[in-house]
A = this chain, B = another copy of it.
Amino acid sequence: MVPPEPEAPAKPGFRVWYNCALAVDIVLLTIRHEQLHVLLINRSEPKAGQLALPGGFVLPDEDLPDAALRELGDETSVRVDVRHLEQLQTYGRPGRDPRARVVSVAYLAITPDLPEPRAGTDAVGASWRPVRQLLGRSSLAFDHDTIVADGVERARSKLEYSTLGAAFCPADFTVAELRRIYEIVWGTQLDPRNFHRKLTSADFLEPTGETTTRDGGRPAALYRVRKDATGIMNPPLLRKTD
């Protein structure tokens, strides 16, 4: 991590005091081995040895999403095919970092299943961890447990009314593969026949014309996300309410 400039670039006539260290943290989710995983790093200083989210300080003239993607590349040194990136929330409780006032803008990112990431310069190592083993526990440095929980909840919620689920899939995918995304992220079973009817009557998929038998059985039609898709699924696919 490269520390940013300590001094404010004050313009003539104005004097602005810098009052915090601004960072970004990234909750990068994917599905591996039929389970939802989040990318974590082994921290060096501070909190050496603890697991934490990838992230770091924002550079002086860098926009926030750019900082998120840069830190993801720096710390994992793997070309991650980030298919979705959205701002999650900002965490600024005093004392959340022992060094100073560090305020972190968290981002939620989604990627399809990819090869194992390798450690970069800043991190001793980076690895995918199953989300199930993290939720409810206190396993991560700083307030990163909370950030992961918020990110997972955002993803679960957005599956209902957006096309986010497709970001977990390769470019071309079958309806059943998309259904498995929903089942894994929501932790529920969905009726394959009703799901198929619902998704093919939604407006964001288009058939590629190809079929595949990679899941066995009768060949399944391959679909892709329409280029003119809005990102909103209409009508929504609502979760069961307990």
Give A contacts to B, CB under 8 Å: 3-6, 8-11, 14-22, 45-46, 57-64, 87, 89-90, 92-94, 97-103, 105, 234-235, 241
Contacts of A58 in B (CB 8 A): 19-20, 92
Give bound CA distance, A57 to B57, whole Å. Answer: 19
Asked if A57 and B98 sit within 8 Å, CB to CB, the answer is no
Asked if B11 and A21 sit within 8 Å, CB to CB, the answer is no
Asked if B64 and A90 sit within 8 Å, CB to CB, the answer is yes
Evaluate whether A90 and B105 lie within 8 angstroms (CB atoms) in the complex, with A58-B19, A100-B10 already known.
yes
Evaluate whether A22 and B100 lie within 8 angstroms (CB atoms) in the complex, with A63-B92, A94-B62 already known.
no
Evaluate whether A46 and B94 lie within 8 angstroms (CB atoms) in the complex, with A22-B19, A58-B19 already known.
no
Dominant secondary structure at the A interface: loop
Smallest CB-CB separation from A103: which chain B residue?
B22
Evaluate whether A16 and B92 lie within 8 angstroms (CB atoms) in the complex, with A22-B22, A234-B241, A241-B234 already known.
no
Smallest CB-CB separation from A90: which chain B residue?
B90
Give bound CA distance, A6 to B17, whole Å. Answer: 5
Smallest CB-CB separation from A23: which chain B residue?
B19
Contacts of A94 in B (CB 8 A): 60-63
Asked if A93 and B18 sit within 8 Å, CB to CB, the answer is no
Give bound CA distance, A20 to B10, whole Å. Answer: 11
Give bound CA distance, A3 to B10, whole Å. Answer: 14
Contacts of A19 in B (CB 8 A): 4-6, 18, 20-22, 57-60
Contacts of A14 in B (CB 8 A): 45-46, 98-100
Could you jot down 8 A-B contacts, CB within 8 Å? A8-B100, A14-B100, A18-B18, A19-B59, A22-B103, A61-B101, A64-B90, A64-B92
Smallest CB-CB separation from A105: which chain B residue?
B90
